[in-house]
Amino acid sequence: MKIYTKTGDKGETSLLGGIRVPKNHVRIEAYGTIDELNSWIGLLKCQDIDEWTIGALNEIQDRLFTIGSHLAVGKADIKMKLPELFEKDIESLEMGIDKMNEKLEPMRSFVLPGGNNIVSYCHIARCVCRRSERSVCALMEQENIDEIFLKYLNRLADFLFVLARKLSADFKVEETPWSPRK
């Protein structure tokens, strides 16, 4: 299989089903941002982190591919069966958030992102997740997109925030509270 097809050389690409759209189409932006998020999750997964977190991130990457595959489908009928996203996938994120939160000190203020590279990668992934959420919202204004994708991304951003706090605790990185200038 050749990687280059030359069919995108003039600024268009094909959706699943064959419809051609400009590369800056809101649909391409949405699933492209999901792909970027998946890459940040992959980088985070390559760090020296615990097995539970690696397992959770593996599951998240799979769900992100599921969301991306649905977003890559145009209005044309496709013959392939796409994997599904379920409420239990969102519940799994919520259970992970609760599990991590049990061991964390309560938040008393906003926390500045950073502290070390691993925690910072997690905060970047969270920010890209929020951007992907905004991209999917923009697509939903134009096309019929299942709301479960947006719900999953919303919960995933929460998961990544709590994961950043967990990683700060794991690596004994002091969280820097945001103290607004007076």
Bridge partners of 22, per DSSP, are 12
Domain boundaries, the chain: 13-173
Please, are residues 129 and 157 in contact by the beta-carbon 8 Å criterion? yes
The pLDDT of residue 177: 87
CA distance 21 to 28: 8
- Structure confidence by residue, pLDDT tens digits, 84-128: 999 999 999 999 999 999 999 998 889 999 999 999 999 999 999
Residue 2 reports pLDDT greater than 80: no
Q: Give 142's Cβ-side CA count (13 Å radius).
A: 11
Exposed (0-12), middle (13-18) or buried (19+): which is 11, by Cβ within 10 Å? exposed
- Structure confidence by residue, pLDDT tens digits, 117-171: 999 999 999 999 999 999 999 999 999 999 999 999 999 999 999 999 999 999 9
- Structure confidence by residue, pLDDT tens digits, 20-35: 786 788 988 999 999 9
| 176-177 and 12-14 beta bridge pairing | unpaired
Kindly report the pTM of this predicted structure. Answer: 0.92
Fold for domain 13-173? Hypothetical Protein Ta1238; Chain: A; (1.20.1200)
